[in-house]
Amino acid sequence: MYRDPRPDARVREAATITTHPQAGNGGTVPGLEQGSLKPLPEAVGAVAVLAQVTLAAETTRLHRTAEG
């Protein structure tokens, strides 16, 4: 995971930490139902895009590895 160095990203990060201080310790996590990996209805679209991008990146990586 890479941190976004832009100032507005730092503001979003601080707001998320304030809103979800126990994320990672059994508390709420942005965009997910508590206690599960199921996205909230408003996050379903973003999760689908992230899944597609991740799959494409992994496929590219595997092809490059196979090519030697």
User: Concatenated DSSP letters for 15-60?
Assistant: HHHHH-TTTTTTS-BTTB-TTSSPBPGGGHHHHHHHHHHHHHHHHH
pLDDT for 45 equals: 92
Task: Give pLDDT tens digits for 3-33.
Answer: 888 999 989 889 989 999 998 888 888 888 8
State how far the Cα of 32 lies from the Cα of 20, in Å rounded to an integer: 11
pLDDT for 65 equals: 87
Task: Give pLDDT tens digits for 34-64.
Answer: 888 899 999 999 889 988 998 888 888 888 8
Domain positions in the chain are 1-30, 32-68
